[in-house]
Chains A and B, each alone.
Chain A
Amino acid sequence: MRHLTRWLAAIVLVTTTVSAQAAGSLAHREILPDGTVLLVAERPAIPIVVVRVSVPAGAVRDPADGLGLANLTAELLTRGTAGRSGPELDRAIEFVGGSLEADAGRDGATISLSVLKKDLPLGLDLLAEVLLHPSFPADELGRKVADIQAALRRSEQSPEAIAGRTLGPLIFPGHPYGRPAAGTIESVGKLTRDQVVAFYRLHYRPDGANIVAVGDVTTAEIRQALRQRLASWTAPTTALPPIPRPAATVAAESRRISRDLSQTTVVLGRPAIRQDDPDYFPLAVATYVLGGGSASRLYTRVREEKGLAYSVFAAVQPGRYGASYVVSLQTRTDSVTEAVRLVREEMARMGREPVSAAELDLAKSYLIGSFPLRLDTSGKLAGFLGAVEDQGLGLDYPDRYKERIARVTIADAQRVAAKYLDPATFSSVMVGK
């Protein structure tokens, strides 16, 4: 590969960028009687359907003494229901070549169904079962806890994972975003079935949920099918507690994690801003100029001119409750000092000098023009629609984004860079020798 696929950054971008398409053509939106938001994008050409349910049950809602609870709860949904065991659910969906997966991220949990059109009724039956009637069998809980612990242990051999875990609390001290979404080996080992059941009852609720359907299905068809299956879904009387916003600025700190590796992984980070902040759009443009593509300053100076890194990039990563800014690279041990000096110099220069007209034009053209590529599969479109709804951006967000990006000036880019890209405000983590 010429460049590392930056899937983490890519996922964030999918949830936050632009459409060149008219909002009206993106999806149909309605609110079902139980409070669930339904979004439907009809794509009849290929006989497949994606259905994605999102609930406010992400790791941000883990109790302080139960880190990993949201993740464990989501992972257990498909491991048994009132009517079927985990293996029976697996066999039922996989026999028709489909998949049904549940997982929790930082902000929310999702259940995703992918099936051929002809198998949609079966797929929706199974989806409704795992959403409404999970049984959380004790033996499955034991298995899942051991698997999560083993996966956490395996991630100790990944420098990026180690760096990410270490940087989180430096960017978001005291905020749930600073905690590990899957928990720790110790915290997961202490979770109980009672905690899982209580977490499920409070957070898997129709108010605050959305359901996205994309593919060879009509709105009338999916509305009817969901009404039949989700009639008993009701919200608990207890409201969910609000999630606080993280601090806008924090003191920069640095950490070194010693590992016997030939490269050092360097990640710099600080709090940033969400799409509801008017500075977000100029910051997206400045970020593209700094480290967004293979014509960016970091890529050009650190990689193309000096050959110091294979992967180097900058990204703003907005979530539902807050945002982070991350600059990352990997370089051989003896070039760390030079590479980091170059990166910090380029970050500072963004605020010190105006970007060129050509750089501004490139960033805006790319951010606006590449948008259709982010919606060109049913899965990508479903993920985008769910994220737009989760983050409260509105279905007109794509048009607004395009318009706001187009309006960004050289002065805007310099102003937000001075505010958010000052290297002195970034915490840093290095993993290596």
Chain B
Amino acid sequence: MLRSRALALWTLVVCLGVVAGAAAQTAPPGPARLAVTDATLDNGLRVLIQEDPRNPVVAVQIFYRVGSRNELPGATGLAHFLEHMMFKGTPTRGRGEISRLIELNGGRDNAFTTKDMTGYYVSIAADRLDLVLGIEADRMRNLLLDPAEIDSERQVVMEERRTRIDDDPEGVVYEAMSSMAYLAHPYRWPIIGWMSDIARINPGELRAFYDKYYQPNNAILVIAGDVKAAQALALVRRYFGPIPRGATPAAVTAMEPAQSDERRVIVRKADAQLPVVNIAWHVPNYKSADAAALELLSTVLSEGRSSRLYRHLVYDKRMVLAAGGEYSYTSLDPTLFWFYATLLPGQTAEAVEQALLAEVEQLKAEPVPAEELERARNQIEASFVWQQDSVFSRASVLGRYEMMGSWHLLDDFLPKLRAVTPADLQRVARLYFAVDRKNVSILLPAPAAPAAR
């Protein structure tokens, strides 16, 4: 539980690549962190390499600074659709060939799209680095984007949306919250896009999106595993070096106006078995001095069975099956702090909403006891150590912090957490969790149809 949530924290992040000319190796202070070699190619590609000889494997992950936040109304889901198309071939590697080559060499590949970025990852025997870099360099600029393949894959993406959202009551209520809480910012639409947009998007739009964002100067390449940094960097230069720099994509300029009202949505689904109550407030991201306190608040509220919401609502009051408070520290733009609860049978959404709000009021009224704060800090610090156990998670975290501006930001995170006081937690709760500016989304079972009575 600790590990999976710790990983979930690293979702979404920034651009504005900071850059140094020559490769520099740094071994920062801190718990057992392996050294990172970083470099920027002449075409702007950022490269991070971490040597780890413990297992004969390597994680190769490439992150593009493009996600659903870079889309426009009427063409939502483009970033994710394009992610699917990245497996559909180039002139030298036809449809299915990329995954076939990876599997033939004993590797695993997959990809993901978030609101802030699109990532492609391969884990493979370390002596196959050459193969993977060749593939990634090829599909960075040479994608076929064949119209017939686009139409076929469109159906797959629509199936994915049905599985993940339309047929999952909790997916529907999540989508409803986001599209209500954001008025002006692109975080309001789902990453996978609206069904009508997926159905409509045309090959020209995919091509234009690809040309705009899939450029070396808009990407971060991370390599972690049983490799030598100098040799790996030479391979990277060989494959990616010849790719010319692209135009710099325009920055996302949308700003969410301050919320001055209360918003509420109720979703009724026939198959919803247990009601769900979500309450969300707009909060800043990692750029704010308050971010570390928000991160600790989330851990105090949610992490483990000794967390507050578990102890109070699950254990003592027996109102809910599960509850928590989720915050995305690394979000590229200001984000939402979500309180969520899944009700036990026999409980009402009204009562659980009041119980969640009472927890919020308690955060404002009383400082969090020192022991609770210390536990939360220990949990986050331990998760940092655990994350180093795999090349996959280390590569992911490096890439995400580089997205935020620099992987060196990782070194600031724990010191920032350590500086937070109980008074800070109380202050941010008062500042951001205003009772008359909240967003509430509730999932309820559909009332029984008259015919069924």
Interface residues of A (CB under 8 A from B): 1-5, 43, 45-48, 86-87, 90-91, 94-99, 101, 114, 116, 143, 146-147, 149-151, 153-159, 259-263, 293-295, 300, 303-311, 330-332, 361-362, 365-366, 368-373, 375-379
Contact = CB atoms under 8 A, between A and B. Distances in A.
Contacts of A153: 273-274, 345
Nearest to B311: A87
A300 B94 CA distance: 13
B87 A2 contact: yes
Q: Which 5 residue pairs across A and B have the least CB separation, nearest first?
A: A369-B106, A97-B382, A307-B155, A310-B159, A310-B160
Interface string B130-172: 0000000000000000000001111111111011001111100
A287 B246 CA distance: 44
B374 interface: yes
Given A87-B311, A147-B321, A372 B56 contact: yes
B261 interface: no
A46 B374 CA distance: 23
Contacts of B169: 157
B306 A259 contact: no
A369 B104 CA distance: 8
Contacts of B262: none
Given A306-B152, A310-B156, A377-B389, 19 more contacts: A1-B160, A45-B54, A46-B32, A46-B385, A47-B385, A87-B311, A94-B303, A95-B375, A96-B378, A99-B1, A293-B103, A294-B87, A307-B153, A311-B163, A330-B159, A365-B105, A373-B107, A376-B391, A379-B3
21 contacts: A4-B163, A94-B375, A96-B378, A97-B2, A97-B379, A114-B386, A153-B274, A157-B170, A159-B167, A261-B271, A294-B87, A303-B156, A307-B153, A366-B106, A368-B106, A369-B105, A369-B107, A375-B55, A376-B57, A376-B392, A379-B389
B235 interface: no
Interface residues of B, number: 79
B361 interface: no
Contacts of B391: 376
B274 A150 contact: yes
Nearest to B54: A45
Given A307-B153, A372-B56, A373-B123, A332 B159 contact: yes
B382 A154 contact: no
Given A43-B54, A376-B57, A90 B304 contact: yes
A388 to B, nearest CB: 18
Nearest to A140: B315
B329 to A, nearest CB: 17
Contacts of A90: 304-306
B106 A309 contact: no
Contacts of B56: 372
Nearest to B151: A307
A87 B315 contact: yes
B111 interface: yes
A369 B270 CA distance: 46
B226 to A, nearest CB: 10
B299 to A, nearest CB: 10
Contact of A308 (B155, B170, B389): B155
Contacts of A96: 378, 382
Given A97-B2, A154-B342, A157-B271, A330 B96 contact: no
B55 A376 contact: yes
Interface string B11-51: 00000000000000000000110000000000000000000
B162 A262 contact: yes
A122 B422 CA distance: 27
